[in-house]
Amino acid sequence: MTSVEDLSGSWELHGDGVAVPATVPGSVHTDLLRQGRIPDPFLDDNELAVAWVGRADWTYQRDVAWHGPEHERIDLVFEGLDTVARVDLNGTTLGETRNMHRTYRFDVTSLVGAGPQPLSVHFTSAYTEAERVKSLVGPRANAYPEPFQFIRKMACSFGWDWGPTLVTAGIWRPVRLEGWSTARLAAVRPLCTYAENAGKLDLTCEIERTQDRALRAQILLDGREITSLDLDTDAVRATLDIPGVTPWNPRGYGEPALYTLTVVLLDGDRELDRWERRTGFRSVEIDRSPDDAGTRFVIHVNGEPVFAKGVNWIPDDIFPSRMTRERYELRLREAANAGVNLIRVWGGGIYEDRAFYEVCDELGLLVWQDFLFACACYPEEEPLHSEVVAEARDNVTRLSPHPSLITWNGNNENLWLHGAMSWPDDLSWGEKYYLSVLPEIVAELDPSRPYQAGSPWSGSWEHEPNDPDHQTFHSWEVWNRQDYLHYRDSTPRFVAEFGWQAPPAWRTLRDAISDEPMLPDSPGVLHHQKAEDGNGKLARGLAPHFAAPESTEAWHYLTQLNQVRAVRTGVEHWRSHWPHTAGTIVWQLNDLWPVTSWAAIDGAGRYKPLYFALREMYADRALTIQRRDGGLVVAVLNDHAEPWTGPLRIERRDTAGRLVYSIIEKVEVAPRSVALIPVPNGDLLVACLDDQRALWFEAEEFADPGLTVTAEQVPGGLDVTVHATGLARDVLLQPDRVHPGAVVDKGFVTLLPGESTTLHVRAPAELDPGSVKDPWVLTDLASVLRSGSAE
């Protein structure tokens, strides 16, 4: 039986005149930070003060010994080395690495024994390697002034328009000694599909041997043997029908049923090795057929079309070794609780840890996985080509058990930007990867999942890659150059990226920035704004809707409100066009440090108001009022397996919110469909069906809403009740202004005259009810616009 000795834990780190204790998995930055050798790079402009770390060479050291049972073979296994490393054991070089995204295995049988042997992992700066490769293959264009396309490493560690430049190095995933005899399971690749009320398992097992013996593999599902395979060669493939299983379904479409699949490698009755994962059976297709409007892009799971209510995912920490299963589960449950059913793992980050995909499996979250290419021309020559192939084969195999993974995507924006930014094509730039190498690997190793060449991509060079009428589309003219109302100008087939910026929660911003006074354009605030002319775009985005804010607090409130209004405008417009528009993937769910960005959850894990708005606009049943053909309609959005029937109440109110008249219309909306109900124009329209409500403001008046606020102490926090005598637009309670650990259950709330709402504030400490009356804890749009400060 395979034996393992974990080598995670205590190591030593040496480099640039520094010698400190180190923790593996980890990184140089986290080790230096833990020992107080560098300042926190998340604070002020400390990012610049620690830039030297990424340009230095480093060595991790510890003694190792094999204390397990005697085996014919002892391997040293690294699940992740970041990035350019030489591995030495007792003075012997085992090998060199050039790829953060691969696993490495070295035979150390003759080098490791019962006594301790020195193990060293020498890391060369990623900058040194990138410049070396650049000198070999020549320069290539990219969207950022860093050489990330010359090295197989997390691209955004070199900085992005929402991230710091913190170029890491280290043993970033677990490391172990592994002892085995006779044979081991080198790879297991289960492709589980579902059709005609039965599951199908397409199973490939690859074997590494020390002896040529007749072996077999016992295959079990939930502990029950379903077959036994004779292993006459080093690779065997079997296709098995699995009757009686329940299909895995995405959120809102049924149970995400999972089964434990076990492969036991046997020599006679002696167990040599064991592989075990939770998996599920489902079929996945993407309808990319032509129609009169262009080319569809509709995800089908188990034969049923799914409207994708998605978010883009970036690494949740600039130092990904700090991620834990608990943190993955927290963030992914937050996505699910916001109504999300699809997570796109963006191509400038990493192939996430196994825990990420396991949690998505359990929650029924669909995963769209980019291969790791983003916003650049990538050389197709050696030494990169073979690394790309090895990396793709490694990760396609590693992620194959996960039913949540539904599509492989070749790259982020490279096919589009190559033409849009007039990047030269006299040198290789990555097209071969996306249109040949990667689809061939997926076709060989994972034909159960559809492959797409890129995002955006129109399907062929017959159309411009970012053509809204053909397949996937990224909407960035809005935000970069246009007001968010222009989202309504088009109906793309599938919106894979769009978004609007806002600063993080107030406490997150204040904790990261020591500027006094802290202003929208003070040095620390600008340092934590990485987008090109980001603050200028925020200001230009406010201008069509509000006067320039008079204080930092008003700027913070209004830019957060504008983010919510912008994203709501896009999602509700496009969702009302289902199935013509078959999905939206908001940029972005999360942040990896405290920054002004497009995220719904900020870098400290606090919810921006956008998070609560996502929960409303991605609800299975929702209402929205839209302009169609010169008039207004109520779009009744029913993404539910049952019809939605009932009395739709439509109210016309004046600008002060007073009722003018109301009508009731009986509606019956079929499952997974949208109904459009014409309504008259008016200054303020209100549509209500069951517990759902939609508002439409043709003209806006910001009179005093006459708010009264009462706060009651309850176990764990406060219940804050807000009553309005007038129209109260966009009431917001910011819980982090009461206590750094406080949370609330709602974002912006609009109250009609006479209405009340209760906001539930919870915190890890007792809260003073009077604190809700402190400046800017609770305010509303009229108060902000009247004075620029809370009243």
Q: Give the C-alpha separation, 273 to 267, whole Å.
A: 10
Q: What is the CA radius of gyration of the chain?
A: 28
Beta strand pairing call for 494-498 and 583-586:
parallel
Per-residue three-class SS string for 612-626: HHHHHHCCCEEEEEE
CB contact at 8 A, 550 and 616:
no
Q: Give the C-alpha separation, 299 to 287, whole Å.
A: 6
Q: Give the C-alpha separation, 372 to 444, whole Å.
A: 19
User: Catalytic residue at 413?
Assistant: yes
CB contact at 8 A, 500 and 568:
no
Q: Please pick, among 146, 413, 497, 616, the residue that the annotation labels catalytic.
A: 413
Beta-bridge partners for 335: none
- Burial class of residue 155 (count of CB atoms within 10 Å of its CB; 0-12, 13-18, 19+): buried
Secondary structure letter of residue 548 according to DSSP: P
Crossing angle of helices 325-337 and 354-363, in 10° steps, is: 30
* N-to-C CA span, the chain: 71
Side chain identity at 270, as an amino acid letter?
R
CB contact at 8 A, 454 and 414:
yes
Extract the runs of DSSP E, i.e. beta strands, from 27-91.
Answer: 58-64, 73-78, 84-89
User: 416: helix, coil or strand?
Assistant: helix
Extract the runs of DSSP E, i.e. beta strands, from 182-234.
Answer: 183-195, 198-209, 215-221, 224-231
Could you check whether the bond before residue 456 is cis, i.e. omega within 30 degrees of 0? yes
Secondary structure letter of residue 145 according to DSSP: S
CB contact at 8 A, 192 and 229:
no
The edge-to-edge listing of strands for the beta sheet with 583-586 is: 451-452, 405-409, 366-370, 342-345, 308-313, 583-586, 494-498, 472-475
Q: Give the C-alpha separation, 11 to 712, whole Å.
A: 52
Q: How distant, in Å, are the alpha carbons of 60, 257, 262, 359, 655 from that of 278? A: 34, 10, 9, 11, 56
Give the residue numbers annotated as catalytic, written as ranges. Answer: 413
